[in-house]
Amino acid sequence: MELKINLDNAPFKISSKLLNILNNEIQKTGDKLDKQDEFTLSFKDESYSSELGGYHPVEIHLVKIKGLWHFDYITDFAYVGCGQDAELVKEIDFDFTSGLGFHLYSGDDDIKKFTELYKIWEMNFISYFESGVFKTKVTTN
């Protein structure tokens, strides 16, 4: 299955490299998603911990509207705190549906104000993905 993603209303440019990564990961599922209206791609560094650090887990959620896929959100998680008090929290969030962006240290704002952060996030994510640090899981909701 190849994703037909509608980018007409995307608040910033989504690179073809990221789209290729998503398509390649989806193709590994076979036809499992053909009848679905939404799914989540989870990218995890299984050794990531609050004590040792590592690569932040990422979720990318897509929804189908009128036969085309749309980004719903992209969320990057990070540990905050130390030891037994550490929590995995949303550090960066690009919520395409609501039109809001979020960063842990600055809060919510118009998603278009997060264009530069998105470019940096995407470049880093692609680099980490290509280096093989993530295990990918696709789930339907």
Write down the pLDDT at residue 53: 92
* Residue 49 placed within a domain: yes
* Residue 96 placed within a domain: yes
- How many domains are there within the chain? 1
* Residue 43 placed within a domain: yes
Helix or strand holding residue 129 (H, E):
helix 115-130
- The percentage of residues in the chain with a pLDDT greater than 90, rounded to a whole number, is 77
SS3 state at 75: strand
Q: How far is the C-alpha of 132 from the C-alpha of 67, rounded, in Å?
A: 32
Contact partners, residue 62, CB within 8 Å, separation at least 6: 3, 5, 22, 38, 39, 40, 41, 69, 70, 71, 72
CA angle 4/8/12 to nearest 5° reads 110
Domain containing residue 45: 16-26+39-136
* Residue 11 placed within a domain: no
* Residue 81 placed within a domain: yes
Write down the pLDDT at residue 1: 63
| pLDDT mean over 107-135 | 97
* Residue 5 placed within a domain: no
Write down the pLDDT at residue 111: 97
CATH assignment of the domain containing 52: 3.10.450.430
